[in-house]
Amino acid sequence: MSDFLRLTEAFTAPLVCAYDVSAYDALMNPSTPFLTRTFKQVRQELGSTHDAVLVDLTQGISASVLAILSGTVRGNGLFAIALPDDDWLSLVDQDLPRYLPWPYKPEQIDSSFKRFFLNHLDSPNSPFQSINRKTIEALPAPIPIDKNAPLTKEQTHAQASLLDQQAESYVLIAPRGRGKSTLLGDSIAKLLKIGKRVAVTAPNQAAISTLKARFEHTTKSIDLNQSLPFFAPDALLADENQWDYLFVDEASMIPVPLLIALNQKAKHCVFSTTDYGYEGAGKGFGIRFCQYLKQLNSSLKELSLRQPIRWGK
């Protein structure tokens, strides 16, 4: 941990994730501020961005944790993995009991995934570098990224499709860091400016921090004095209003039956997500829900973003 903090001295509030973060919480002090998340809490980070992330795999390994957090690191940031000095493969994996059928116990199982993962870390093509404690030096602060930069050509094209009001349902699927939330925040502000009734929902407010930041920037630039019309999914269903547009961000994290109900709340519904099948979400959005939309109406419009915004290629 001290090595990671030394590397990230110039970084803003690095994130540390482990199966058990109590030991890290005890190290917290004002001079070295950092955030902590357990494996169970990591889904809260979907939609967020960090300068640096450390995933401690000493007590266990989770493919979902690695997939989610690797997608939250901003350009010029740092993604680090902590492994013990001794034989990691022989250590009991504390995260394994969730997957084992009765009556097996973690100490009875040789984790094939741990062996697979370690082999890839050691391969010549691995993007990771093993750090020698004696040579660790602080990394320079990441180059600031202009969060309020104009939309890219690809985003502008997707926005034109969103605003043309030709489709009843829109599905925007793209990998992390492609500017989905920025596109949505900008589009929502412009729709409100022309008098459209708009609602926004997501699994939680933390998931739309980037969307909200872009929305607030755009409202200032177009002289619109209005707050983001966010509703929790259940509150939105209980609301009797019918909207012109409903934006659902991180849609794959919402159960399919709830998505189907939300689709009835507006003339035009926009569902945005990364459909990677993270643990707890599966592929229900990409398979079941999108198939439902295709059967429901013929005006479904599918959009995608491919150009990296948060990272370089």
pLDDT of residue 223: 93
Q: Which residue has the higher pLDDT, 233 or 100?
A: 233
Match domain 153-303 to its CATH number in 3.30.1490.20, 3.40.50.2300, 3.40.50.300, 3.30.2350.10. Answer: 3.40.50.300
Mean pLDDT, to the nearest integer, of 52-78?
87
| CATH dotted code for 2-135 | 3.40.50
pLDDT digits (tens, 9 = 90+) for 115-154: 899 899 888 888 888 776 555 565 666 656 666 778 999 9
CA 263 to chain centre: 23
Mean pLDDT, to the nearest integer, of 66-76?
85
Residue-wise burial string across 244-260, b where 16 or more C-beta atoms lie within 10 A, e elsewhere: bbbbbbbbbbbebebbe
pLDDT digits (tens, 9 = 90+) for 18-28: 988 888 877 77
pLDDT digits (tens, 9 = 90+) for 178-201: 889 999 999 999 999 999 999 999
Average pLDDT over all residues of the chain = 85
The whole-model pTM stands at 0.73
| Residue from 187, 203, 197, 200 nearest 267 by CA | 197
pLDDT of residue 267: 94
Provide the residue type at 268 as one letter: H
Both tokens of 175, joined, read 């990998």
Q: Where are the alpha helices (DSSP H) in the chain?
A: 2-7, 22-25, 63-70, 112-121, 153-163, 180-193, 209-221, 233-238, 256-262, 284, 290-296
